[in-house]
Structure 1
Amino acid sequence: MSETQMPAGQLSGNVLFYSKPEPLAKELHSKIGVKRMDGPFKFAKVGHAIPLTVGEFPLAAVTGPIIFVGDEKLPIAVMGLNAGENMFVKDDGTFESGIYIPAYVRRYPFVFANDEQNNQMVLCIDRNAEFIVDKGYDMAFFEANGEPTEYTKNCIEFCNNFEVERQRTVSFVQILKDLDLFETKEATFTPANPDGTQGETQKIAEYFGVSEEKLNALPAAKFVELRDNGALGQIYAHMHSLVGWDRMIALALTKAAAQQPQAANA
């Protein structure tokens, strides 16, 4: 663990959920810690699209669509149809039963940040995390002698493993790019009119996904290579996950219908 101290302004990049990252250091954080909460995931309610590592694809595919976005083709787990609204996080800060919680969420409030000046990664915590407190905490960050606690060591190991998986994900995406397997896809919804006819089709999302046609057209040797390096299973997990759009749309309609009587009585 690095104890390099620097102004927060030197940390590069804006990271989802982290509003006040600070390099973890005994000089700054020896008298604060983490309070256990029954519902610790309130921060994730704004995460409708959460970064995912490739090793998580099979588990995340059960919850909803896994798509690729941006020039970097970053894989994300779709957890809501509206920006800033996670459909699976309840008001009490817990996830709905049976929903896969991405590692990106589970590592919070820890995160690695780039120290561009010193060309290194620095472990940070989000000082604005609801469960980081200066009194009444259950798990301290540092022992009285200044050494990291067992809790902190475990969190560091989790973040290190996450970084390894993140790099593996970058390599996986590069394989798909090199083979030109991506295509632009759309998720659409056709509502029913009150008279029973179909309404106008609405576009919910535009994203990158693996083209089944391009995948099937690969030379046999490349296909076997994808199978042997484990990429093929992850590709299929992504492709199968896309049926989750229908489930999410149905869930959104159900929730909207349930809220209508409440709005009417308000």
Structure 2
Amino acid sequence: MARKQRIFIENMTYHVLLNCLDHMGVFEKNVDKEFFLDLVAQYSQTYDVQIHSYILDKEYFEFLATSKLVDSIPKFMQSLGRLYVNYYNKKYDRSGTLWQGRYKSSLVEYKNYLFDVMSFIERRTKTKYSSLDKNLFDKKNPIITYHDEYKKLGYTQEDRIKKYKTFFDENTKEKDAFIFDCLQKQKITASKEFIKKLEDSLGLALHSKKRGRPKKIKKDKKMYKNLQILDKEKHKSLKVSDMNDLFFAKDLSILPVTLGEITAVGKVFPIVFVDGKNPSLSALLSLGGENLAINSEGKWITNYVPLALRKYPFSVASVKDNVDQKIIMIDEDSSLVSKSKGKLLFKKDGSQSELLENAIKFLMDNEKHVQITKKMVKEIVDSGILEEREVAIGEGDEKKVLVNGFKVVDREKLNKLSDDILASWARRGIILIIEEHLKTLDNINTLFELANQRQQ
């Protein structure tokens, strides 16, 4: 579901903290700690999470790890938390969660802060249930994987330990306070230069800013710059070139789709509802920055190009006094339209050229799908089952809303609809459409992956 999103980027390092409920001390007994660490060892391998430093205290589990895939750490933490709760509740005859909300995480600039965070973790408390013996005394520990930067400390383990020990001896209260604050507020543990570079590559605002009203899905710079009614006299000399790229749509953050496109577009992008005077079914293409669906060559990143783009530079509008009567429009300022290159729209006798005939047929066929979609979307909107959602990173005062102002189906409200409505929707395929829509919401994580690929 669309909810607050953490920043997870493949092959990056994270500082993570899982707190127990206040003063519960669910890790007091050694047998419980050993069971928990067995889970850590097993599932860090399952999800390819490389742990470099950790400590297990009676009230928390804290570690530093490299996330090999974007969803490695979220899946690892989900399995770890759930399985230990099941074990603990069964053993001590209780019910309910053990954790103080969701775990906290901070992306770490490992080039400058890796060893500071490692030593910060291992200096937190005196316990044998930590990685200290491995990193500082070279004792066996199946949980730990040395970070590449740790390996670069020397050609022998003795040299590595000697250099790593300097971070214990040179630690400062200021640096510890910075690391602690970044983790608690889920900010990036990094230099300003690193954060700026990451912002530029991801197209996201990651610095702390004063909170205010978050930006909703804004109206994009329009794909159509100057739509005019197509006229055989006025436009008799106009030509239209073949569409070789989609740069005309590079500023779009959302794109209307039809019902028949949910599966194809929804393989990569979240499909949501955008409310307003004309409610629509739309694909989210951005995290508040650049369009992630169009690559540097101006191509759509999958084989399927949405209908809303394929009809450009043409469009269809309804006559004000007769919505069933359609008129053809053209973007006079489109780079595809000129008087010097391309194919003519009209023949010398004023009749339509083959290019225009094909374009009009495509527009009319597409318009049928658009109207069917609008009718079904309006029915879903009117039913009251939609809820506002947002995509955000961070928590509390550090929360940054990337995209909001869109809606998704609330399953609980859906299930409360009367049986006759649900039966009707099932017969007419609306339930299948809703299920497809809900399934695509997992692709919000895909948007973060695409942003990361842009960084690469």
2:400 match: 202
Amino acid corresponding to residue 179 of structure 1 in structure 2: S
Amino acid corresponding to residue 408 of structure 2 in structure 1: G
The 1:220/1:166 distance shift into structure 2, 3 A limit, reads: same
1:219 match: 418
Q: CA deviation at 1:255?
A: 2.0
Deviations along 1:148-178, whole A, 9 cap, x unmatched? 1122111111111222222212211122133
TM-score w.r.t. the length of structure 2 is: 0.47
TM-score w.r.t. the length of structure 1 is: 0.78
1:73 to 274, 279, 291: 279
Deviations along 1:119-167, whole A, 9 cap, x unmatched? 7532111011112121231x22112221111221111111112222222
How far apart, in 2, do the equivalents of 1:152 and 1:121 lie? 15
2:311 match: 107
Aligned Cα root-mean-square deviation (Å): 2.5
How far apart, in 2, do the equivalents of 1:100 and 1:81 lie? 21
Deviations along 1:16-45, whole A, 9 cap, x unmatched? 311111211221222221222532x11010
Paired residue secondary structure (2:315): strand
How far apart, in 2, do the equivalents of 1:160 and 1:24 lie? 15
2:386 match: 182
Q: CA deviation at 1:190?
A: 4.4
Paired residue secondary structure (2:387): strand
State whether residues 226 and 232 of structure 1, in contact with CA within 8 Å, keep that contact through their aligned partners in structure 2.
yes
User: Structure 1: any 5+ residue segments left out of the alignment?
Assistant: 1-13, 192-198, 259-266
2:453 to 254, 260, 264: 254
User: Structure 2: any 5+ residue segments left out of the alignment?
Assistant: 1-219
Paired residue secondary structure (1:67): strand
Deviations along 1:159-212, whole A, 9 cap, x unmatched? 112222222122111221332211112223349xxxxxxx95533222211111
How far apart, in 1, do the equivalents of 2:375 and 2:341 lie? 43
Amino acid corresponding to residue 235 of structure 1 in structure 2: I
State whether residues 63 and 99 of structure 1, in contact with CA within 8 Å, keep that contact through their aligned partners in structure 2.
no
2:230 match: 24
**For structure 1, which segment, 27-36 or 44-53, has the greater mean C-alpha deviation from structure 2 after superposition?**
27-36
Amino acid corresponding to residue 132 of structure 1 in structure 2: V
How far apart, in 1, do the equivalents of 2:222 and 2:260 lie? 20
Q: Percent identity?
A: 26
1:125 match: 330
Instruction: Kindly name which structure, 1 or 2, has the bigger radius of gyration based on alpha carbons.
Output: 2
How far apart, in 1, do the equivalents of 2:241 and 2:398 lie? 49
How far apart, in 1, do the equivalents of 2:235 and 2:398 lie? 55
1:92 to 283, 297, 314: 297
**For structure 1, which segment, 206-215 or 240-249, has the greater mean C-alpha deviation from structure 2 after superposition?**
206-215
1:55 match: 260
Paired residue secondary structure (1:163): helix
State whether residues 279 and 378 of structure 2, in contact with CA within 8 Å, keep that contact through their aligned partners in structure 1.
no
Structure with larger RCO (C-alpha < 8 A, sep 6+)? 1
For the pair 1:167 / 2:371, whether they are aligned, the reply is yes
How far apart, in 2, do the equivalents of 1:147 and 1:22 lie? 19
